[in-house]
Amino acid sequence: MTDIPGTTRDLIEEQINIRGVLVNIVDTAGIRETVDLVERIGVERSKEMIIDADLVLLILDGSEGLTEDDRKIINWLGDRRALVLLNKTDQPLLIDEKELASLTKADIIKTSMIDGSGIDELKDYLYNMVYSGQLRPTSQVFITNTRHKEALLRADRYLNDALEAISAFMPLDMVTIDIREVLAALGEITGDSLTEDLIDKIFADFCLGK
């Protein structure tokens, strides 16, 4: 990666965990008018990604004024759920915040990736979005395997048992018995638990021959 605009052409995907919320972050190519064919493909893919995204993080370089490209993107984003990160606050700010606020409906957070300011605010923002129900996961989780469904239900049941045991002031050794069940159930999905009938299932589901 370089700091020359236009050099990110592939999408870079990374998962991060913000206080228990799993966030899929996609770093797209910068969106700008270009004659370079390769870069244009990158820009097109970025646009598709933005349409699918639950939230767009628009990062503006605050150490430079708003560019023509920036304005176009803001315009193009329209009503899409977005958050503007006014970055590089460690340097003198050349973007007029009031003007920026008048251009977009999106919230604005000032950040610096150098001194880390605004990062906590950003995390709070993402976390709150999920837990205030504003952001519903667009891709819903489907459990297609009945065995997994059954295991999840069992895990849920034992979690409730554990909570009950705690509120009944049961000794911790009792609570751990339920927690162990929860782990065993989840382990059946991840493959970490050994169960006697696993083998029968393997033989039933796949043809292993002799």
Pick 134 or 195: Cβ nearer other proteins: 195
- Single out the segment in contact with other proteins by CB under 8 A; choices: 28-36, 80-88, 101-109, 176-184: 176-184
Find out whether 109 and 122 touch, Cβ atoms under 8 Å.
yes
Please give the radius of gyration of the chain, using alpha carbons only, rounded to the nearest integer.
Answer: 24
| Of 76 and 203, CB closest to other proteins | 203
| Torsion from C-alpha of 59, 64, 69, 72, nearest 10 degrees | 70
By CB under 8 A, tell whether 170 contacts other proteins: yes
Distance CA 97, CA 104 (A): 11
Nearest distance from C-beta of residue 152 to other proteins, angstroms: 19
- Which of 107, 121, 124, 192 contacts other proteins by CB under 8 A? 192
142 binds other proteins (CB under 8 A): no
Residue from 172, 204, 205, 207 binding other proteins (CB under 8 A): 172
190 sits in which H/E element: helix 172-190
The answer to whether 207 contacts other proteins (rule: CB under 8 A) is: no
**Nearest distance, CB of residue 144 and other proteins, angstroms:** 21
The answer to whether 171 contacts other proteins (rule: CB under 8 A) is: yes
How far CA 1 is from CA of 6, 7, 27, 31, 32, in Å, comes to 10, 7, 12, 16, 18
Nearer to other proteins, 48 or 192 (CB): 192
The yes or no reply on residue 191 touching other proteins (CB under 8 A) is yes
Question: What is the 3-class SS of 121-153, one letter each residue?
Answer: HHHHHHHHHHHCCCCCCCCCCCCCCHHHHHHHH
Distance in angstroms (rounded) separating the CA atoms of residues 54 and 70: 21
Tokens 């906590």 locate to: 120
Rounded to a whole number of angstroms, the minimum distance from the CB of residue 160 to other proteins is 14
The amino acid that residue 73 corresponds to is I
Q: Does 16 bind other proteins (CB under 8 A)?
A: no
3-class DSSP state of 64:
coil
Task: Using CB under 8 A, count the residues that bind other proteins.
Answer: 24
Rule CB under 8 A: say whether 208 interacts with other proteins. Answer: yes
Interface residues toward other proteins, by CB under 8 A: 168-174, 177-178, 180-181, 184, 191-196, 198-199, 202-203, 208, 210
